[in-house]
C-alpha cells in the first residue's frame, strides 16, 4: 500500500507538472496569439494608413496633372493669340510699307515724267503699226515717210490732224482718231522721236 501511495503521489506530481507545463504552454500560446493579433492589427492599421497615403498621393498627382494641363492649354492659347496679333501687326506693317513704296514709286515716276516730259518712244508704239517701227513705211500706202522729218514740221502736221484741219490723201479723219488723245507735250515728244528715226 505504501508503495502504491508513493507511486500515486509521484504520478500526481507528474500530472501536476505536466499540467503546469501545458498551462504555461497555453498561456504562451495565448500570448503569442495576442501578439500575432495585435501585430496583425498594427499591420492592418499600417496597411490602411499606407493605402490612405497612396490615395492621397494619387489624388494630389491627379490634381497637379490637371492644373498643369490647364495651365499648359492657357499658355498655348495665349501664345496662339500673341502669334496672331504679331502676324496681324506684321501684315499691317507690310501693307503700310507696300503703300509707302507704291506712293514713292508713283511719285518717282511722276517726277521722272516731269523732268523728262512724255516718252516719245512709248507714244510712237501705237503709230508703228501703220508707219513702221522705224517710221519708214508709207502708212496704208498713202502717207509720206515720216522718219527723219524736222520735228517742228511733224509737230505742226500732227497738231493739224488733231484739230481736223489736215487731210492730204483723204485719210485725215483716220489720223485725227490716232492723235486725238495726245496732249501738246505728247505731240512734241513723239514728233521729236520720229524726227530722230
Ligand atoms: C491706221 C494707220 C495709221 C496709224 C496707226 C497712224 N497713222 Fe499717221 N498716217 C496714216 C495715214 C493713212 C496718213 C495719211 C493721212 C492723210 O491723208 O493726210 C498718215 C499721216 C501721218 C503724218 C503726215 C505725214 C506727212 O508728212 O504727210 C504724220 C506726221 C503721221 N501720220 C503721224 C502719225 C503718228 C504720230 C501716229 C501715232 C500717234 C500715227 N501717225 C498713227 C496712217 C496711220
Taking residue 124's Cβ as centre, other Cβ atoms within 10 Å add up to 19
Cα 139 to ligand 1 centre (Å): 6
Site of grid cell 490615395: 55
**Tell me: the pLDDT tens digits for 150-193?**
999 999 999 999 999 999 999 999 999 999 999 999 999 999 99
Ramachandran sector of residue 119 (left: φ over 0; alpha: ψ -120 to 50; beta: rest): beta
Give residue 161's pLDDT.
98
Cα–Cα distance for residue pair 192/119, rounded to 1 Å: 10
Q: Are 182 and 131 within 8 A, CB to CB?
A: no
Ligand 1 binding pocket mutation candidate from 140, 141, 143, 157 (most atoms within 8 A of CB): 143
- CA 175: distance to chain centroid? 57
Mean predicted confidence (pLDDT) in 48-56 = 82
- Mean of the pLDDT values across residues 1-11? 53
Decide: 127 and 134 in contact? Cβ < 8 Å.
no
Please give the number of the atom of ligand 1 that sits closest to the Cα of 128.
5
Amino acid at each position: 500500500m505504501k508503495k502504491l501511495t508513493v507511486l500515486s503521489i509521484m504520478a500526481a506530481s507528474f500530472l501536476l507538472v505536466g499540467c503546469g507545463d501545458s498551462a504555461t504552454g497555453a498561456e504562451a500560446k495565448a500570448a503569442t496569439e495576442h501578439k500575432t493579433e495585435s501585430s496583425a492589427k498594427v499591420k492592418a492599421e499600417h496597411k490602411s494608413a499606407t493605402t490612405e497615403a497612396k490615395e492621397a498621393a494619387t489624388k494630389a498627382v491627379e490634381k497637379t496633372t490637371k492644373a498643369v494641363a490647364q495651365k499648359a492649354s492657357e499658355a498655348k492659347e495665349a501664345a496662339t493669340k500673341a502669334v496672331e496679333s504679331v502676324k496681324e501687326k506684321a501684315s499691317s506693317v507690310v501693307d503700310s510699307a507696300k503703300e509707302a513704296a507704291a506712293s514713292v514709286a508713283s511719285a518717282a515716276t511722276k517726277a521722272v515724267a516731269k523732268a523728262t516730259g512724255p516718252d516719245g518712244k512709248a507714244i510712237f508704239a501705237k503709230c508703228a503699226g501703220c508707219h513702221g517701227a522705224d517710221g519708214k513705211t508709207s502708212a496704208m500706202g498713202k502717207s509720206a515717210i515720216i522718219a527723219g522729218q524736222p520735228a517742228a514740221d511733224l509737230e505742226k502736221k500732227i497738231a493739224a490732224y488733231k484739230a481736223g484741219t489736215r487731210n492730204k490723201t483723204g485719210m485725215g479723219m483716220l489720223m485725227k482718231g490716232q492723235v486725238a488723245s495726245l496732249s501738246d507735250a505728247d505731240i512734241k515728244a513723239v514728233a521729236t522721236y520720229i524726227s530722230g528715226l
